Amino acid sequence: QVTLRESGPALVKPTQTLTLTCSFSGFSLSSSGMCVSWIRQPPGKALEWLALIDWDDDKYYSTSLKTRLTISKDTSKNQVVLTMTNMDPVDTATYYCARTLFTMVAVEEYYFDSWGQGTLVTVSS
């Protein structure tokens, strides 16, 4: 059974750096085709993909947030960490981590088959 759980601060101040940890079980991030992504959702708004790390330690970021994001993994601990710098009130959202599967058809594709329950992060002074 695949499970993922996000952890981190519920409240951060503007300009601070947010660090979120995704702890997972039921799969290995060293297995070919396995990835973990971070996705966020502001209250009442749509999902937004943020970052992805794959089994080979390749990393991909949203073009709009690339300069603020860093994703890393600790395969031995089954954890993926996301840091986001210079937090702003518009970054208030529920942050999800999700197991991400890689598939190669005509081009590379990624999709999310298991999600954590999400963690609400509020940015406020």
Q: Between residues 16 and 115, which has the closer beta carbon with respect to other proteins?
A: 115
CA distances from 113 to 5, 27, 35, 50 (A): 14, 12, 11, 16
Cβ count near 20 (within 10 Å): 22
Q: Write the binding mask 1 to 30 for other proteins: x where contact by CB under 8 A, - elsewhere.
A: ------------------------------
Q: Residue 118, interface with other proteins (CB under 8 A)?
A: yes
Binding residues with other proteins: total (CB under 8 A): 25
Contact window for other proteins (CB under 8 A) among 9-17, 25-33, 46-54, 82-90: 46-54
Of residues 64-83, which lie at the interface with other proteins (CB under 8 A)? 64
- Amino acid present at 22: C
Helix, strand, coil percentages (3-state) for the chain, rounded to 5, are 5, 55, 35
Q: Residue 40, interface with other proteins (CB under 8 A)?
A: no
Q: Residue 107, interface with other proteins (CB under 8 A)?
A: yes
Distance CA 85, CA 79 (A): 20
Q: Residue 48, interface with other proteins (CB under 8 A)?
A: yes
69-74 and 108-115 strand pairing: unpaired
Q: Residue 90, interface with other proteins (CB under 8 A)?
A: no
